[in-house]
Amino acid sequence: MAVPEEKNNLANLAYAALKRDITEGAFQPGDKLLMSGLKERYEIGAGPMREALSRLMAERLVTAISQRGFRVAAMSIEELKDIYFARAQLEAMITVLAVQRGGDEWEAGVIATAHTLSRVKEVQNTDEMLGVWDNRHKAFHYAIASGCGSAKLMELRETMLDQAERYRQFWLREMVFSGEALKSKQEEHRELIDVLMSGDAQAARQLMFEHMMNPIPIITRILEARGLA
């Protein structure tokens, strides 16, 4: 899923840690990322730290202005809509390919990950369950997409997933806290599987697109409540 040869060197570690801190909200959108603060937080020199920031810049999670340092990339409702739309289009396109090209083992993978997802225990320790559900949900969609047979398309998909991640976090909490919303998602997933197995690529395309667009209103509401208009 991720790049494999990422061994340990300070720049890589800082990259991973900062990426997590940004997507999980430890740093807020627009926050200035002071070199001095980062050095202390990640116990690292300025050189490797800059490397990490450079990579996150290429991934659009961090912005930079020359001689004026780095910031956490801003979030906005406009960007939310654009990212989700682009992602939905991409995922729908990939889904068509997967239906057309996916063989028996693809089908098996989809069914298997769907099953695993459906078996996430109903609310106990909310935060832990949230993590488990999210991982399995991602695995399910990954299994579907992987049928497209294109490593580059899978990379593009990963790119968009990364960029959506901060917005997705909001949706995720909403989802898991509301048993009803979760039930509704599960229903969507069932329908999705039916269409995928039916082999009707265009129907699958349409349904996947809608599935991916659904979270937008929910997240918009949350962002508005937080004044991130």
Residues in contact with DNA by the rule CB under 7 A: 9-11, 32-36, 43-48, 50-51, 64, 66-70
Q: Which of residues 50-89 bind a copy of itself (CB under 8 A)?
A: 50-52, 54-55, 57-60, 63-67, 82-83, 85-87, 89
**Out of 17, 93, 181, 213, the residue judged to bind a copy of itself by CB under 8 A:** 93
Alpha helical stretches, state H, 147-178 = 151-177
The sheet that has 62-64: what strands, in order across it? 32-33, 70-72, 62-64
The listed partner (a copy of itself, DNA, none) that binds 122, CB under 5 to 8 Å by sort, is: none
Closest to a copy of itself by CB, 19 vs 137, is 19
CA distance 176 to 3: 30
Q: How far is the CB of 159 from DNA (least distance, A)?
A: 24
Question: Is 1 a binder of a copy of itself (CB under 8 A)?
Answer: no
Strand intervals (E) in 49-181: 62-64, 70-72
Tokens (6 digits) for 87: 């992602």
CA dihedral 80, 59, 14, 1 (to 10 degrees): 90
Name the DSSP letter for residue 65: -
The listed partner (a copy of itself, DNA, none) that binds 69, CB under 5 to 8 Å by sort, is: DNA
Closest to DNA by CB, 8 vs 124, is 8
Question: Is 225 a binder of a copy of itself (CB under 8 A)?
Answer: no
CA distance 28 to 205: 35
Question: Is 101 a binder of a copy of itself (CB under 8 A)?
Answer: no
Question: What are the Cα distances from residue 18, in Å, to 13, 71, 183?
Answer: 8, 12, 34
Closest to a copy of itself by CB, 97 vs 132, is 97
Name the DSSP letter for residue 2: -
The listed partner (DNA, a copy of itself, none) that binds 116, CB under 5 to 8 Å by sort, is: none
Q: How far is the CB of 224 from a copy of itself (least distance, A)?
A: 21
Q: How far is the CB of 60 from a copy of itself (least distance, A)?
A: 8
* DSSP per-residue string spanning 201-223: HHHHHHHHHHHHHTHHHHHHHHH
Question: Is 44 a binder of a copy of itself (CB under 8 A)?
Answer: no
CA distance 187 to 185: 5
Q: How far is the CB of 181 from DNA (least distance, A)?
A: 40
CA distance 47 to 10: 10
List residues binding a copy of itself (CB under 8 A): 5-9, 11-12, 47, 50-52, 54-55, 57-60, 63-67, 82-83, 85-87, 89-90, 93, 97, 150-153, 155-156, 159-160, 163
